[in-house]
Structure 1
């Protein structure tokens, strides 16, 4: 998939919007503050099928006991497996693989970590996803990470993805990712899928930076491969009515052009979703006895009816 299949807006704007959103505020996990490949590999292996909040304490305890890859390689494997079991991380074979991979780094690679995804796959128990994650977060040398959350984001956001039996997730993900910025980009798009674009989307609550380009936000269809049933409220006119009421509750009277962006991120006064569209929404609310619309000087304003 070429960049032509991406949003018609400037691709640089799509990219910068996501990165700026992530850098302004994101969940703090300790492995996001390190570029040590050993620490990142431990976090990635622990995070497989385990909630991230549960991983934090286990990750810190693991590194306290085996601070370096050399320490882990020299450890008794049974102790590593026992730790894994005590922490209720599940799938004890992951502990065995992690111990074996540490031995490979020390014995086969002389303590030097491979940096590319295809090279990292030589480590025991390290598949394409984990290899790419370590390459991205430790060395800034990975491809675009594609997990379930990222697939959901791409499927919802871009119309070309949901056509065909095998959506080209990796192709689109790599076309989106700025060259040489896999560390921040992969963290950002995974955060988007985890915080704003979950199975139940939180587009406005989480301030999704892609709302103005997103097909799902525009149409209200938030289905995805792992979300077979469309939420009935998200994207609906009922939702927009709720946004109007919430915005008017903050002030006594709000001019239409100030109210519009609070209801739709793509509001444009003279556009398809502009003043006329907003007047129609307000008329519905007025008919229900909830809102008054009136002239105030040179402006039309809306207020909650007392």
Structure 2
């Protein structure tokens, strides 16, 4: 089978849909962003949870929306404070904080404080790609397509032989054909929950009471292979790690010379060495292009400071 575009809906599609929704409604993990339809708070959760386990996002999310409860509050905030929050909570790439701040400013200035509602409009916000736009449209406005993340791909691959046997699986088409029409909020939450609780890398079909065991190709055949999850590059020693250290250090002082900064962020910093001025200047240049810092040149001296 070359692809899965000729996937046909099973005769018992209604039962497949109903059992999944009933399973989800009976018992599911509780996350605060699942208890709201506020698009701003949902956007914050989506940005925070990129490549981060959901349980680790709960407290930072609560603190963030307490500090900046509305797009207006975030838009009026000092960007350095937002980036500092992001860094202190180890939430990944600092440019996500910058983009979130800019997105809030767009909502206030370009949309008069009213969040755009459709995936197409949401993608106009800074840092919001197709996946995040669709997730916000789904969970805030119940008006999105099927969300297809790594967990959902694993569910579809194992559940349906057409996907399992395809050379180039069309996950999106299958996911949208399955989804309850007009019910993207509960459907996407339910199928993502299925992948996160029952259809894990090591499946817990019976223990989690998977509602699709009756139809599941993997459960019936014992073949629980799944698409490889994308690997996360090592954080230790990465440019991302040192970018974070730079921002944290600059948050503690008004301005700092390049060599002093280098010694603070790296024990083996040597001005003329492999990890010296040239290496550090590249990192500073990247952060300046992202709008997070300013690099100050004064003769032969170079210094850096957080951008206000």
TM > 0.5: yes
1:150 is displaced (CA, Å) by 0.1
Q: 2:132 aligns with which of 111, 130, 133?
A: 130
Work out the CA distance in 2 between the residues paired with 1:107 and 1:126: 17
- Tell me how far apart the structure 1 counterparts of residues 5 and 19 of structure 2 sit (CA, whole Å): 20
Aligned with residue 190 of structure 1, among 189, 192, 213:
192
**Unmatched tracts of structure 1, length 5 or more:** 228-306
Q: Distance in 2 between matches of 1:3 and 1:190?
A: 24
CA shift at 1:198, angstroms? 0.6
Contact 2:7 2:162 in 1 (8 A): no
Segments of 5+ residues of structure 2 without an aligned counterpart are 230-308
| 1:144–1:173 contact (8 Å) kept in structure 2 | yes
Q: Partners in 2 of 1:133 and 1:178 — Cα distance?
A: 15
* Pairing 1:64-83 to 2, within 5 Å after superposition: 64-83=66-85
Q: Determine which of 7, 11, 14 is the counterpart of 1:12.
A: 14
Report the equivalent of 1:39. 41
Question: Which of the pair has the greater relative contact order for Cα pairs under 8 Å at 6+ separation?
Answer: 2
TM-superposed CA distance for 1:113, in Å, is 1.1
Rg comparison, structure with higher value: 1
Answering whether residue 210 of structure 2 is matched by residue 199 of structure 1, we say no
Aligned length in residues: 227
Change (3 A) 1:205 1:153: same
Contact 1:6/1:158, CA 8 A, preserved across alignment: no
Among 210, 213, 227, the alignment partner of 1:211 is 213
Tell me which of 175, 178, 182 is aligned to 2:177: 175
8 Å Cα contact 1:3/1:176 also seen in 2:
no
Q: Conserved in 2, the CA contact under 8 Å of 1:117 and 1:135?
A: yes
Deviations 1:62-121 (A, max 9, x none): 011101110000001010000000011110000000000000000011111111111100
Deviation at 1:3, TM superposition (A): 9.0
Aligned in 2, Cα 1:176/1:3: closer, same or farther, shift over 3 Å? farther
Distance 1:80 1:4 in 2: 46
Instruction: Determine the C-alpha separation between the residues in 1 that align with 2:138 and 2:60.
Output: 23
RMSD between aligned residues: 1.5
Contact 1:141 1:180 (8 Å CA) reproduced: yes
Residue-by-residue CA offset, 1:274-298 (whole Å, 9 max, x unaligned):
xxxxxxxxxxxxxxxxxxxxxxxxx
Query: Per-residue deviation at 1:159?
Result: 0.4
Distance 1:137 1:156 in 2: 25
Cα distance in 2 for residues equivalent to 1:54 and 1:82: 18
Residue by residue, what CA displacement relative to the aligned partner does 1:157-190 show, whole Å, maximum 9, x if unpaired?
Answer: 0000123332010000000001100000000000
Equivalent position SS for 1:175: helix
Normalized against structure 1, the TM-score is what?
0.72
